[in-house]
Structure 1
Amino acid sequence: MQPRSRRTFLTLGLLVTAGTALTACTEPHDDTPAGAARRPDPDEPIRLRAVAATDTLLAGYDALLPQAPQLQPLRAEVAQHRAALQPTTTAPPTVTAPPSTAPTTLTALAALEHQTAQSRLADLGAASPQLARLLASVSTAGVLHAVALGDPGTTAPAAAPSPSPDPATAFQDALSAEHAAVYGYGVVGARLTDDQQRTDARTTLAAHQSRRDAWQRLLTTSGATPTAAAAGYQLPFPVTDAPAATRLAAHLETRLTTVYADLVAAAPAPHRPLAADALRDSALRARHWGATPTPFPGLPSTPTPTPTPSITP
């Protein structure tokens, strides 16, 4: 048996990335003395665009809430996104949206969530590391909202794209996490009894193997030595039956959302979309295996809430 000291754990403590030292997207404290000139925030234009897109979403939810009150929890999460994205150097405006622009069906709202989620990623390269991580998390939440609303076109791809060559040692921890996921899904597949679940587990295992291989190629091309897989991994809890296997799959994917949210902040700007894609994929898989979605997938804590402006449709 592999000595305990050489095992790699799948638990929270050892599945961390280079981005762990970054704080969890809390609002910055303003220490500007009274009367002093305020330093411009380079993220402000990005935040304003993100808030404007969020306002459109909120107007869409408010237009449908009277006939679909079950949308309230999703609407509340979107309001949390707005509070987290709001620039701290400007006063929160009152939101107005023409009634004609609001979606009139759940299908249209799902499409708007999906479209908005994709648009969040356009600013990843220009944003600061912490804001990039927040944008990726909010984008992932939007994809989960679209799925909850019935968007049939929102699925996690079975294989990861190959990253373009570039030094990216921030991917070492992501590679280690994928090694652990590959091992974990071997256990998951061995304990499942339902044929469809076993097929899903095999498909997901192949996806993690593909992403593992992509990170290995990136690191090798950049001149780094990829982290090798450990001989064995200690599971976070005993996995002796199918229910425990599905919980392990949800645990693995949830942990990977944290890994990839941190990687969005830690990776070079050209590679942030790759990390954001991985964050989205793991969040979708976590939902598939029964994990409860959160307003900010991958973030260790939610941003400090601020009052949400009223929306006048």
Structure 2
Amino acid sequence: MQPPSRRTFLALGLLALTALTACTGSHGGNDTTPGNRGPLPNPDEPVILRSIAATDTLLAGYDALLAGPGGAQAAVLQPLRAEVAQHRAALAYGLPAASIPPASPATSSAGPGGTPSAPPSGTASGTASGTASGTASGAPVGTPAALAALERQTAQARLADLAAARPPLARLLASVAASDVLHAVALGDTAPPVAPPPAATTPTEAPTAPPSDQPTASPSAGPSADPAAAAAVTALQGALGAEHAAVYGYGVVGARLPEDQQRTDARTAYAAHEARRDAWQRLIGSLGATPAAAAGGYQLPFAVTDAAGATKLAAHLETRLTTVYADLVAAVPGPQRGTAADALRDSALRAHRWGAADPAFPGIPEPLPTPTAATP
């Protein structure tokens, strides 16, 4: 498989991160301390290397199944493995080559029937995680169900590092974790596809200042004099506005669906978005700001006249929300990132259920049309 293109990394925002850290010397660049003692360490590197190691374990699991008799379920496994390889490349981008463990062979080097062939010259045949069929717990990956469980475990491990990562990396980790869960579903995971939103998201303390690459806020974000806290409130207001639009949109979706499972799914999604909206309202209020009110109406991105249009709108709403929540992960401080990442995952799973394509990086797509409040 060819490595991700420059356009892919632009979409991920990783080139901007690399440029920033090269200037500060914090991403393995050539800048030195005043005493000329060499490059400063990259504070994200331990998190990145942990995530790469977990990704290599996943790649080993895919390779073990593909190397089985006839390349078991190759048609399903190969595209998923290719996305995992993209995750690895994105995580490793910008790190010094010497610090990156060698990768396993890419899917594109697979031989007939999906069985991996000998790796290209200079490519390691193993992974950084150990044996070719091992999992994080040491148990072999012998079935798609075992690999699905490993995808879920890997997603949780990535989310556990959110608070330790700087904003751009946190955004990437949340996106890749959502992709891991989508992979688990594609592999037959029978766990509930969407966890219910939290009953409350009131923080135990106000947001604190994030790292120096956190965006600044507009003066109207809230009463806080702390620019970082105001920026977090601005991002939360944006998420609240997106949920207002989703609640409105699902009202349209439900009205165009017949009384069947799809309408039941629409009702469930409508309730989930109401709960998420209410949670953001409580959180914003607890931070001393006034939650943004819903608009009187919203301009839909396209006409919805039948069930097909309704399902397309539902997929569009959820896909747009993945972008909102990926951005929110990067905008809020550590204590709130987990909630934003959960919302990203939930919307990615609902988008999948409504028939949207599963991207390798949920929430970090090409620009999408944005539903806007209707003009009175």
TM-score by length of 2: 0.71
Gapped regions of structure 2 (runs ≥ 5): 1-10, 24-28, 103-126, 135-139, 208-231, 368-376
2:157 is equivalent to residue 119 of structure 1: yes
Structure-1 residue corresponding to 2:265: 200
Q: CA deviation at 1:207?
A: 0.3
Gapped regions of structure 1 (runs ≥ 5): 1-21, 303-313
Distance (whole Å) between structure 1 residues aligned to residue 304 and residue 176 of structure 2:
32
8 Å Cα contact 2:63-2:132 kept in structure 1: no
Structure-2 residue corresponding to 1:105: 143
Distance (whole Å) between structure 2 residues aligned to residue 39 and residue 223 of structure 1:
38
Root-mean-square deviation (Å): 2.0
Q: Secondary structure at the match of 1:152?
A: coil
Paired letter, 1:74: L
Distance verdict in 2 for CA 1:33–1:275, change over 3 Å: closer
Q: CA deviation at 1:90?
A: 4.0
Paired letter, 1:98: T
Q: CA deviation at 1:268?
A: 1.6
User: What whole-Å deviation, never above 9, does each CA across 1:74-122 have from its counterpart, x for those lacking one?
Assistant: 0000000001111613433222531452401111000000110111001
Matches within 5 A, 1:3-82: 24-26=13-15, 28-29=18-19, 30=22, 32-33=29-30, 37-66=38-67, 67-68=71-72, 69-70=74-75, 71-82=77-88
Moved more, 79-88 or 97-106: 97-106
User: What whole-Å deviation, never above 9, does each CA across 1:183-203 have from its counterpart, x for those lacking one?
Assistant: 000000000114111111011
2:167 is equivalent to residue 129 of structure 1: yes
2:248 is equivalent to residue 177 of structure 1: no
Distance (whole Å) between structure 2 residues aligned to residue 228 and residue 241 of structure 1:
29
Matches within 5 A, 1:201-240: 201-240=266-305
Distance (whole Å) between structure 1 residues aligned to residue 144 and residue 358 of structure 2:
19
Point out which structure has higher relative CO (alpha carbons under 8 A, 6+ apart).
1
Q: Secondary structure at the match of 2:343?
A: helix
Q: CA deviation at 1:34?
A: 9.1
Distance verdict in 2 for CA 1:23–1:56, change over 3 Å: closer
Q: Secondary structure at the match of 1:213?
A: helix
Paired letter, 1:44: E
Distance (whole Å) between structure 1 residues aligned to residue 143 and residue 289 of structure 2:
51
Moved more, 230-239 or 33-42: 33-42
Aligned residues: 281
Percent of aligned positions with the same letter in both sequences? Answer: 64
Structure-2 residue corresponding to 1:189: 254
Q: CA deviation at 1:157?
A: 2.1
Distance (whole Å) between structure 2 residues aligned to residue 100 and residue 145 of structure 1:
18
Distance (whole Å) between structure 1 residues aligned to residue 326 and residue 96 of structure 2:
25
Distance (whole Å) between structure 2 residues aligned to residue 33 and residue 149 of structure 1:
43
8 Å Cα contact 1:41-1:89 kept in structure 2: no
Distance verdict in 2 for CA 1:154–1:118, change over 3 Å: farther
Paired letter, 2:246: A
Paired letter, 1:85: L
Moved more, 276-285 or 25-34: 25-34
Moved more, 149-158 or 281-290: 149-158
8 Å Cα contact 1:57-1:113 kept in structure 2: yes
